[in-house]
Chain A
Amino acid sequence: MDSRRITNTVMTTLTAICALGVVGILVLIIGYIAIQGISSLSLAFLIETPKPVGEGGGIGNAIVGSLILLSLAAAVGIPLGIAIGTYLSELGDGWFGTTVRFVADSMIGIPSIVFGVFVYALVVLKQGYFSTLAGSLALALIMIPIVTRTTEEIVRLVPKSMREGALALGAPEWRVTWDIVLPAARAGIATGAMLAVARVLGETAPLLFTAFGSRFYNIYLDEPMASMPVQIYNYAISPFEEWHAKAWAATLVLITLILVINIVVRYTTRRNY
């Protein structure tokens, strides 16, 4: 009897230690980023372009670049993801739906760098240059299955009675989906889409050889484009102390954006994932 109680206490404590440990790691990482990053953060850093060592410079073009890359990726990835998710929820109970669901699930597990390789072979190699469009395509491909799965989950939560009510009133199927089901699931779909945006905001690997990176402000879609994660990577692996400091500051900006999206999105929707 006693030994059972002791085992119970020991194991209970151990699981609590696991949880505390993991939360501790999060605090360590974010705390370190905040402390290291804040000292190099300035308005100039947020506006200027990267410069040679010793001359300052910032991540202005990388912030704009990330914004452009993300907007394009979202413009393609989010509507497509929502459409596929809606299909899976509303019509996808047959063998075709099951196949699509399974492939989408497995696609989420494909490493992001493989999307980079794919877009490189498909676009960059044929065109002969790195481009914003190629980078956005890689990001969009990563977003599609994520948005698909979150949309399906949410749309399935809309009560069947609402659909039946609308159908009974004589509404055609497309109106039921467009006017009844999707508006009811709007908040949840937006949550999923925003989380997908936050996820690709930090993606580095697929951009390395698609959007590549740039030291200048750029708005042209057929030219290489800077982005925050790639800029962080370049600063981080450099041998210069000054650039390391810039890597921390840029990370602070990036992580703040990502965490704010995550926290706001999860607090505005009651359902927790």
Chain B
Amino acid sequence: MSKEETKLDTNGGSKVLTADSIYRGVLIGCASLILVIVLAMLIVIGQGSLLSIREFGFHFLIGSTWDPVKGEFGALPFIYGTVVSSVIAVLIATPLSIGVAVFLVEQAPRSLARPIGFLVELLAAIPSVVYGLWAIFVLAPFLRVYVQPPLQTALGWTPFFKGTATGVGMFTGGLILAIMITPIITAVVRDILEAVPVTQREAALALGATKWETTKIVLANASSGIAGAVILGLGRAIGETMAVTMIIGNRPQISVSLFDPAYTIASVIANEFTEATGDLYLSALVEMGLILFVVTFIVTALAKLLILSVGRKTRRTA
């Protein structure tokens, strides 16, 4: 912004110019560091996975045997566990988060919206390991006694709720993930709803729409941003480690029943990394990390693009 300024500055001359170029140089250097870090992560983690990639190739992603003793590593059960638990989380958290955001932005009076919004944000500040602790000793026993048996009697004929209800497993894992990503999705949806111009609401209300019908119009206009928020939540759910590790049961199997124990990519890294004996075992775990890295990076980038698109659209019409 100030190339001209420095040129015009005749009495300070070259001294000012060098000070400013140092300033710019340092800041650009720091900014480049972020690119260097991400690139270094890709290279180092990629290098660590090389052994496993060479050994198994594409088969790593579709193999379903995880046997460190025999040296056989297939990631499919973990990919399955990650995908299913994250999808459960998103399915529960999306309507819940939109509900909370709509309440905070469209309905609650300001005096109520502020404290409630703050409390919802606090939920995001609770560490993963604390959610895990709570899930083990409070959520799981509760679900085992009060939720899973009725679910089984009502829907036991479907393949999704078979087996013994232990409280630990895919179902509980998905549920705790849902609680964890709700404040994240809520915060983004809230920002997006607030960015929708008030004139839209006024127009709808003036035409005789009820409060809810107005909200529907607002939601429709913000839909791509909301999609972004949900994808952001999905990315978080995919990478969540501690809480899931503590509650999902940690058994590498592909079972349709949600009451059965499962395993996720992040959990297997957390559990087995320090005890990985042998280069191939370690390399297979690092490749798990590579999958997680690439997938979450792309998912988050996609979410950001969607959210940004809404920001631009509403700013232009506002």
- Cα A4 to Cα B95 in complex, Å, equals 21
- Cα A22 to Cα B103 in complex, Å, equals 12
- Whether B128 pairs with A15 at a CB distance below 8 angstroms is no
Judged by a CB distance under 8 angstroms, whether B9 is at the interface is: yes
Judged by a CB distance under 8 angstroms, whether B45 is at the interface is: yes
- Cα A244 to Cα B91 in complex, Å, equals 32
Chain A at the B interface: SS class: helix
Collect the chain B residues with CB atoms within 8 Å of residue A174's CB: 19-20, 22-23
- Cα A273 to Cα B240 in complex, Å, equals 23
Judged by a CB distance under 8 angstroms, whether A7 is at the interface is: yes
Total B residues in contact with A, Cβ cutoff 8 Å: 96
B104, B186, B274, B300: the one contacting A105 at CB < 8 Å is B300
- Cα A145 to Cα B297 in complex, Å, equals 13
Judged by a CB distance under 8 angstroms, whether A34 is at the interface is: no
- Cα A19 to Cα B104 in complex, Å, equals 8
- Whether A236 pairs with B136 at a CB distance below 8 angstroms is yes
Interface of chain B residues 117 through 150 with chain A (CB within 8 A): 117-123, 125-134, 136-138
Judged by a CB distance under 8 angstroms, whether A103 is at the interface is: yes
Q: Scan A191-207; emit 1 where CB is below 8 A from any B CB, else 0.
A: 00000001101111100
- Whether A113 pairs with B292 at a CB distance below 8 angstroms is yes
Judged by a CB distance under 8 angstroms, whether B232 is at the interface is: yes
* A19 nearest CB across to chain B (Å): 4
Collect the chain A residues with CB atoms within 8 Å of residue B236's CB: 109
Q: B232 — nearest CB in chain A belongs to which residue? A: A109
Known contacts A92-B31, A170-B9; A118/B274 CB under 8 A: no
Q: A14 — nearest CB in chain B belongs to which residue? A: B99
Q: A24 — nearest CB in chain B belongs to which residue? A: B119
A36, A92, A117, A254: the one contacting B289 at CB < 8 Å is A117
Collect the chain A residues with CB atoms within 8 Å of residue B186's CB: 22
* A259 nearest CB across to chain B (Å): 7
- Cα A54 to Cα B16 in complex, Å, equals 68
Which of B33-41, B53-61, B152-160 participates in binding chain A? B33-41
- Cα A12 to Cα B103 in complex, Å, equals 8
Judged by a CB distance under 8 angstroms, whether B169 is at the interface is: no
- Whether A114 pairs with B96 at a CB distance below 8 angstroms is no
Collect the chain B residues with CB atoms within 8 Å of residue A148's CB: 34
B45, B100, B119, B211: the one contacting A117 at CB < 8 Å is B45
Q: Scan B221-261; emit 1 where CB is below 8 A from any A CB, else 0.
A: 00000000000100110111110001000000000000000
A-B contact pairs, 30 of them (CB 8 A): A8-B212, A12-B107, A15-B99, A15-B107, A18-B100, A18-B103, A19-B100, A22-B96, A26-B119, A29-B130, A33-B134, A87-B31, A92-B31, A102-B301, A105-B301, A106-B297, A106-B304, A107-B297, A111-B296, A114-B296, A116-B273, A117-B269, A117-B273, A172-B19, A173-B2, A202-B125, A205-B242, A237-B246, A248-B133, A251-B130
On A, residues with C-beta under 8 Å from B are 4-5, 7-8, 11-12, 14-19, 21-23, 25-26, 28-29, 32-33, 36, 80, 83-84, 86-88, 90-92, 96-97, 99-100, 102-118, 120-122, 125, 141, 144-145, 148, 167, 170, 172-174, 177, 198-199, 201-205, 208-209, 212, 229, 232-233, 236-237, 244, 247-248, 251, 254-255, 258-259, 262-263, 266, 272-273
Give 7 new A-B contacts, CB below 8 A, not counting A8-B213, A111-B241.
A19-B116, A22-B182, A109-B236, A114-B293, A118-B44, A251-B130, A255-B126
